[in-house]
């Protein structure tokens, strides 16, 4: 499913049980806000968080996209979450730990809104292309915390073990023209590490990054957006191109590079 809106460069998770974070999100420069009902919310706060998420969306997030992440299909909270999200005006629903295209399509149809699915289990990764092709799917989000745990990557070891899964998510999303959103970066005080992971994710082809803290927005927005230099080069390339293979700034360009330049400018209006 393709959506009319541009993919978010930044998708900020916040616990729907945290009223201060909800209020704060209304003034932050994230492209999308994801109100979490799943792992960020304690069991004894699930019901009130559900009500808070619906009320927060009704109050609005300005021009930011809004989404609610439900508890998983096999959770005791899922039926109540499903009813709440169906009546909410949120732009997207987010479903964690998706492993089945059929289950995802059936939820999207029941909710009547596009679904962003989290790919965060080995079975999910292996089924990612089928899931991305299912009706009602708006995009895939890498769930790197769960993936690390499920793959058995020990704490304190780097993230190389996640690369195949993240690239598979991009491949599946691109094959079926849905959004690809990279996973979160857990360190709250490491802007250089975050920047490196954003550069890597953009290099893999992700449209944007999921985030967990306001301090991460500026770094991810800059690195999933385009610099003035990139935009100037894109404009110059379009201006110079005459069709077919030709030399531009010491490299070969063809029609697909012109299309890429147009897409970059459209994605980053000034
Ligand atoms: C990680 C946190 C628990 C840290 O909280 P805290 O130490 O309280 O943060 P600060 O004191 O630094 O906060 C400063 C101000 O910013 C607001 N704030 C903090 N986080 C957010 C947020 N995410 N959105 C909006 N506003 C936020 C605070 O309220 C402070 O405001 P002020 O009072 O005005 O100073 C916390 O950041 C947090 O809860 N983050 C989100 C956690 C979450 O949603 N997790 C679920 C998704 S992550 C995931 O697991 C993805 C996937 O499933 C996977 O498997 O990987
Ligand atoms: Mg997860």
Q: How large is the ipTM?
A: 0.99
Residue 146, marked binder = yes
Ligand closest to CA 26? 1
Tokens 């691109």, residue? 174
Distance CA 140, CA 210 (A): 11
CA 128 to chain centre: 15
C-alpha to C-alpha distances, 15 to 4, 112, 176, 212, nearest whole angstrom? 27, 24, 30, 10
- pLDDT for residue 269: 80
120 lines ligand 1 (CB under 6 A): yes
Cβ contacts of residue 5 below 8 Å, gap of 6+? 65, 91
Distance CA 257, CA 266 (A): 14
26 lines ligand 1 (CB under 6 A): no
205: left (phi over 0), alpha (psi -120 to 50) or beta: left
159 lines ligand 1 (CB under 6 A): no
pLDDT tens-digit readout, 126-155: 999 999 999 999 999 999 999 999 999 999
Atom of ligand 1 nearest to the CA of 120: 55
Element (H or E) spanning 233, and its range? helix 228-240
Can you say whether the dihedral through the CA atoms of 71, 48, 215, 5 is positive or negative? positive
pTM assigned to the model: 0.95
Give, as residue ranges, everything with CB less than 5 Å from ion ligand 2: 120, 143, 146
Average per-residue pLDDT in the chain? 96
CA nearest to 164, candidates 197, 203, 125, 131:
125
Tokens 């999308």, residue? 32
pLDDT tens-digit readout, 3-46: 557 899 999 999 999 999 999 999 999 999 999 999 999 999 99
- pLDDT for residue 1: 46
Q: Which residues pair with 248 in a beta bridge?
A: 251
Distance (Å) from CA 236 to ligand 1 centroid: 41
pLDDT tens-digit readout, 195-215: 999 999 999 999 999 999 999
Mean pLDDT of 145-170: 96
Distance (Å) from CA 63 to ligand 1 centroid: 21
Distance (Å) from CA 80 to ligand 1 centroid: 24
Tokens 């975050």, residue? 194
Residue 230, marked binder = no
Q: Which CATH number does 10-224 carry?
A: 3.20.20.60
Atom of ligand 1 nearest to the CA of 28: 25
For the chain, which residues make up each domain, given as ranges? 10-224, 228-267
């Amino acid at each position: 499913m393709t959506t009319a809106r541009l993919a978010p460069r930044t998708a900020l998770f916040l616990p729907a049980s945290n009223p201060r974070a909800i209020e704060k999100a209304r003034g932050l420069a994230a492209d999308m806000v994801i109100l979490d009902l799943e792992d960020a919310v304690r069991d004894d706060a699930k019901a009130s968080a559900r009500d808070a998420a619906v009320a927060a969306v009704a109050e609005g997030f300005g021009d930011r996209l809004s989404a609610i992440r439900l508890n998983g299909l096999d959770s005791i909270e899922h039926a109540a979450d499903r009813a709440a999200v169906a009546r909410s005006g949120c732009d997207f629903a987010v479903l964690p730990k998706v492993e089945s295209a059929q289950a995802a399509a059936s939820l999207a149809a029941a909710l009547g809104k596009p679904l962003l699915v989290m790919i965060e289990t080995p079975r999910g990764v292996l089924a990612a292309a089928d899931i991305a092709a299912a009706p009602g799917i708006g995009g895939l989000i890498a769930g790197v915390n769960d993936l690390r745990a499920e793959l058995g990557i020990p704490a304190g070891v780097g993230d190389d073990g996640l690369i195949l899964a993240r690239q598979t998510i991009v491949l599946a999303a691109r094959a079926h023209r849905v959004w690809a959103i990279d996973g979160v970066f857990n360190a709250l005080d490491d802007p250089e590490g975050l920047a490196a992971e954003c550069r890597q994710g953009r290099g893999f082809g992700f449209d944007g990054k999921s985030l967990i803290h306001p301090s991460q927005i500026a770094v991810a927005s800059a690195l999933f957006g385009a610099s003035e230099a990139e935009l100037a080069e894109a404009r110059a390339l379009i201006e110079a191109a005459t069709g077919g293979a030709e030399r531009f700034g010491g490299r070969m360009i063809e029609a697909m590079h012109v299309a890429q330049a147009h897409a970059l400018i459209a994605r980053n209006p000034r």
